[in-house]
Amino acid sequence: MEISIEKINTRTDPYQLFLDSIRNESTKRRYKNLLYLFLKLIPNQLYSDSLRKIPQDREAKTLATFFVDLARKDVELVSDVIAAYIKEDKKRVESGEISSQTLPNHIKPIKVLLDANRIPIHWKSLNKLMPRRESRSKDRAYTREEIQKMLTVTNDITDKVIILLFSSGGFRLEAWDYFTWKDVIFFKNKFFTVIQKGNIYSSFILGVIMSNLVSS
């Protein structure tokens, strides 16, 4: 084991520090995309006026480095940038384009980037700009009849499993990247309506039993 100068120097890359601070791979992919969307909105003029230089490209790593450098020089200016971003996103909430639950998720990657690079931001004041979160979600579970209709129009067993898992397990879309057929066990169940080659099957995956959902 050796701690080399090269390994130590990698800790000076703002974007790499951001990536290293996120453990979950699906969260990392989502945060990378959301952070990049934010960084691309910042005009080069802002960097030119404050840092006297502009990014040579508009790649995520480059923009993240410039944003962190700007924050180290003028943390109040960066706070104003984030505040402006929140206000613009708030307009999208008010227009119904996104929900009040979504806006905080757009800010989390920015916070992770700055926290990973030890940039002190007064997040409490920025959080006050957020709209009130809806007390009740407008989402609802599929009814038994709706699930059965979806199963009726699907011919492939894969589609049937996906429908049952999504309707009962509450998985995020990214979770499918980690499922394999080894996680699925088929067994006969007279209460189930998933029909494949004349037999009646149900599926059990990661401890979630869907038969209770459909037969209840």
More confident residue, 66 or 154: 66
What is the average pLDDT across 64-71?
A: 96
More confident residue, 211 or 115: 115
What is the average pLDDT across 169-178?
A: 68
Q: How far is residue 7 from each of residues 10, 23, 68, 69, 89, measured CA to CA in Å?
A: 5, 19, 21, 21, 38
Range of 57-61, 99-103, 138-142, 207-211 with top mean pLDDT: 57-61
What is the average pLDDT across 173-202?
A: 56
DSSP string, the chain: ----HHHHHGGG-HHHHHHHT---HHHHHHHHHHHHHHHHHS-HHHHHHHHS---SS--HHHHHHHHHHHHHH-HHHHHHHHHHHHHHHHHHHHTTSS-TTTHHHHHHHHHHHHHHTT----HHHHHTTSPPPPSS-S--PPPHHHHHHHHHH--SHHHHHHHHHHHHH---GGGGGG--GGGEEEEE-TT--EEETTEEEEEEETTEE-HHHHH-
Which residue, chain included where needed, has tokens 């790499």? 16
pLDDT tens-place string over residues 2-56:
777 766 665 688 999 999 999 989 899 999 999 999 999 999 999 999 999 999 9
- Residue 216 has a CB neighbour count (10 Å cut-off) of 7
Backbone angles phi, psi at 195, to 5 degrees: -105, 130
- Residue 129 has a CB neighbour count (10 Å cut-off) of 16
More confident residue, 148 or 112: 112
Q: Who's near 123: CB < 8 A, 6+ residues apart?
A: 111
More confident residue, 143 or 189: 143
> How far is the C-alpha of 13 from the C-alpha of 190, rounded, in Å?
58
| pLDDT computed for residue 144 by the predictor | 83
pLDDT band for 189, please (50, 70, 90 cuts): low
| pLDDT computed for residue 188 by the predictor | 56
| pLDDT computed for residue 214 by the predictor | 41
More confident residue, 194 or 125: 125
pLDDT band for 152, please (50, 70, 90 cuts): confident
